[in-house]
Structure 1
Amino acid sequence: MAYDLEEQEKLDAIKDWWTRYGTLCVVLAFVVLAGILGWRGWQWYQNHQNTQAMGYFEALEAASVMTGEEADARLVAASSTLRADFPKSGYASRGALVAAWALQERGNADGAREQLEWLIQQGSDPALKAVARLRLAGLLLEQKNFDAALAQLNNPPEGFAGLYADRKGDVLFAQQKLADARAAWQEALGLLKGDAVEQLIQLKIDAIGEQQ
């Protein structure tokens, strides 16, 4: 009898605890389960998005080495889809850079410029944005849009100061500002000491001496 009474007291204690905390336990269990399922769902979504973005990027790469109007249309379409649907993925930024190169090679300077400007303004990778600014400055130099080219070279990102100074020298030289071009190239030479482009920069400086 004492045993039955003790068991009954334990059951009553459990019932009392469940009455107090049962609902909370169920809610907490649901929240934890929902969190796990949500995380797995998010991972699946991210993987799915990356797979899709990679597919468009591969199509863009393939079109970049092809020729003809159809290849150009595929190139632009793939880049547009990456930028519209996957703007924060690395594939969108890389795709814009590849598309800009291909379009410039095919003589479509305006199309290349639009790709680079999007990357500079909307790209997610700081290093690729820095490269885009450098390449856009070169494109603007070819178009003799010197002021716009120099504007792209202001406040160079960390690690790109030497390359930006070199390109700045190119723009100033095209403007026949030889002393300023020499100063920019000398700055670049100091920043890129030991780099593969060092000899080329020195050749530019020597060429200015021959013209003065």
Structure 2
Amino acid sequence: MADRTDEEQVEAIKEWWRENGMAVVIGIVVGIGALVGWRGWSEYQENRAREASSLYQEMLAARAAGDSEQLQDKGTQLLADYAATPYAGFAALALARQALAADDLETAESRLRQALESLDEDSLQHVARLRLVRVLTAREQYDAALELLQSTDFGRFTAEYEELRGDILLGREDTAGAREAYRLALANTSPQAGGRELLQMKLESVGGKATPVNTTELDSAADNL
């Protein structure tokens, strides 16, 4: 009985294999292929990141050497060939800075928009957005500048954004709006901040008066950052 049972079990296994063996083999092959493909993709991504990092270092070296042509070439290559890496955003910021130094506001705007699309880190996004708003304001594209502000969570950059809002509204001859924006900016500026005096002058130029600063609250807020 035991022998017959063993034979029946063997036959059952054979039958199961005839019915399902091909699916098992295919599953194994697919699984191995997926594992190999994932490892290959990971290695590819790592290689791309190393290449982008190396190119970015070359771009920084060109900037340090004052070689604007190499800076432009390396930065443009990063944007074109390594757009999916964080270095593309860094390159866009550097190229925007170069364009601003040359008073090329149109190119600076384009590069800063690229930076906004490429950068993931919150603080760097604020840096790019603030610079872009300044460029748009300088180009008197006030509606576009305000649109950027309206879609932004200011976070710890409230003072900078409100000051820019004041500049924009003043450009649109909205004195009351500019006054309120400057007042908010000043209220969110530390007494030790370097730009506080200029901000105070802007507020006074539109007929405003600074609200006394609660240094205790500011110090407490700073301790919690």
Could you tell me the TM-score, scaled by structure 2's length? 0.73
CA deviations on 1:115-167 (whole Å, 9 max, x unpaired) are 113334x4343734443232123234445x25367445531511244321111
Unmatched tracts of structure 2, length 5 or more: 209-225
Give me the whole-angstrom Cα distance separating, in 1, the residues matched to 2:46 and 2:110: 29
Matches within 5 A, 1:1-212: 7-67=6-66, 71-120=67-116, 122-125=117-120, 127=122, 128-143=124-139, 145=140, 147=142, 150-151=145-146, 153-158=148-153, 159=155, 160-173=157-170, 178-192=175-189, 196=193, 199-200=196-197, 201-206=199-204, 208-209=206-207
Instruction: Indicate if the aligned counterparts of 1:63 and 1:75 stay in contact, CA closer than 8 A.
Output: yes
Secondary structure of 2:84's counterpart equals coil
State, as a whole percentage, how many aligned pairs show the same letter: 28
CA RMSD after TM alignment: 3.2
- Rate the CA distance shift 1:152–1:78 in 2: closer, same or farther, 3 A: farther
Give me the whole-angstrom Cα distance separating, in 2, the residues matched to 1:154 and 1:4: 83
Instruction: Indicate if the aligned counterparts of 1:57 and 1:78 stay in contact, CA closer than 8 A.
Output: yes
Count of residues in Structure 1 that have an aligned counterpart in Structure 2? 204
CA deviations on 1:72-130 (whole Å, 9 max, x unpaired) are 2222222222222222321111210122123323444443233113334x434373444
Unmatched tracts of structure 1, length 5 or more: none
Could you tell me the TM-score, scaled by structure 1's length? 0.76
Instruction: Indicate if the aligned counterparts of 1:57 and 1:91 stay in contact, CA closer than 8 A.
Output: yes
- Rate the CA distance shift 1:182–1:40 in 2: closer, same or farther, 3 A: same
Deviation at 1:37, TM superposition (A): 0.9
- Rate the CA distance shift 1:95–1:4 in 2: closer, same or farther, 3 A: same
CA deviations on 1:1-23 (whole Å, 9 max, x unpaired) are x7765554443233222212211
Instruction: Indicate if the aligned counterparts of 1:161 and 1:191 stay in contact, CA closer than 8 A.
Output: yes
Give me the whole-angstrom Cα distance separating, in 2, the residues matched to 1:150 and 1:36: 48
Give me the whole-angstrom Cα distance separating, in 1, the residues matched to 2:196 and 2:119: 33
- Rate the CA distance shift 1:102–1:75 in 2: closer, same or farther, 3 A: same
CA deviations on 1:25-65 (whole Å, 9 max, x unpaired) are 11111121112111111111111111122122222222223
Q: Which amino acid aligns with 2:120?
A: D
Secondary structure of 2:149's counterpart equals coil
Deviation at 1:197, TM superposition (A): 5.8
